[in-house]
Structure 1
């Protein structure tokens, strides 16, 4: 798996921190890692972007952006409004493939969800994944509404013939509500792919050294971690028979 594409089911689901955790676990396992952010939006020149944040948390990681647009919008819209050239899927694929010749693992972190437009032709992260023939990791939220967005993302990946590696919960609350706890069992079912990790809420606020040490505990062995999905489900999922009538 020289290239892994990481998408979210939407914005603010913990995708960047999850990418950093995957990078940190891989570095801890002795792999060389690069993170590629095709289009960074909502960040001014000189400010830290998502790829920089991954490198800050994960450590010895090569961070690269292809384009940066100042307004916090979809990349195609942000590029148009800024009067700048957009990023095209083939450029993403070419950059990732080049990084893969120099690193053991390249993480391509998208912007928002899978079908956010990069350019006026409607090019998406899914198109880049297809060109790369790379598996896709989906970062999902924990709570109410996540089953719908996760299943829609998984269905789109299958329609396009792309490999869904699994799902990671981007932010697991310290006191999970009933919906979140039920979703531990339901997310793999609707995705048709395994649950490969759950990051604790606030993980991105940890000191980098603490983040790197803890990252393998949040991710399954498939992602160079030690997280046990079955044990997590037994601990967090509710009794399926609780609340039912005799």
Structure 2
């Protein structure tokens, strides 16, 4: 796996922090890492974007942002409102392939969910993943409602013949409720893909040194981590 595409079941599910966790674990395993953000929305000028946040948390990664648009909207809409050229799936795939020639791992972080439109032609992150032949890692919410959005995203990937590597819970609550606890067992069933990690709620606010030291413990061995899915789900199982 040279390129891994990171998407979410929606916005604010922990994609950027999860991308930083993935970068940390890969770096600790001795791999060179690049992070590609095709379209950053909701930031202007010198404001920090998602790729910058990954660098802050993970450290020594190459960060590339292809375009940024000021409105916090879907990339196609934000580009149109700004009067700027959008970044499509082909540009995304080409940039990722170029980075992959120079790095062991390229993490491509999308905006919002899988089928958010990049441009007027309707290209999406799923299209870029298919062009690259790259697997997708799905970052999901922990609580009520996540099973539906996870199942829909997994179904959309299968329909496009894109491999779903697995699911990571992007923000595991400090005090998980019944739905979150039950979802640990149900997420891999509805996704038809393994559960590969759980990132603690608020991890993005950790001191970077603490974050880097702990990151591998939040991911399964398939992602260069040490997280034990059977132990975690067993400990969190509802009584």
For this structure pair, what is the TM-score category when the shorter chain's length is used for normalisation? over 0.9
**Corresponding residue SS for 1:65:** strand
**Corresponding residue SS for 1:109:** strand
Q: Which runs of 5+ in 2 are unaligned?
A: none
Task: Confirm whether residue 153 of structure 1 aligns to residue 149 of structure 2.
Answer: no
**Corresponding residue SS for 2:86:** coil
- Residue 130 of structure 2 corresponds to which residue in structure 1? 130
Quick one: distance in 2 between partners of 1:88 and 1:78? Answer: 13
- Residue 67 of structure 1 corresponds to which residue in structure 2? 67
Q: Summarize the alignment of residues 87-166 of structure 1 with structure 2, pairs less than 5 Å apart.
A: 87-166=87-166
Task: Confirm whether residue 8 of structure 1 aligns to residue 8 of structure 2.
Answer: yes
Shift, 1:64, TM fit:
0.5
Shift, 1:88, TM fit:
1.1
**Structure 1 segments of 4+ aligned residues over 6 angstroms from their partners:** none
- Residue 44 of structure 2 corresponds to which residue in structure 1? 44
Task: Confirm whether residue 212 of structure 1 aligns to residue 204 of structure 2.
Answer: no
- Residue 81 of structure 1 corresponds to which residue in structure 2? 81
Shift, 1:237, TM fit:
1.5
Report the RMSD for the aligned CA atoms in angstroms.
0.4
Quick one: distance in 1 between partners of 2:45 and 2:4? Answer: 27
How far does the alpha carbon of each residue in 1:137-185 deviate from its partner, in whole angstroms, 9 at most, with x for none? Answer: 0000000000000000000000000000000000001110000000000
**Corresponding residue SS for 1:10:** coil
- Residue 199 of structure 1 corresponds to which residue in structure 2? 199
- Give aligned pairs, total: 239
**Corresponding residue SS for 1:53:** helix
Shift, 1:194, TM fit:
0.3
Q: Which runs of 5+ in 1 are unaligned?
A: 240-246
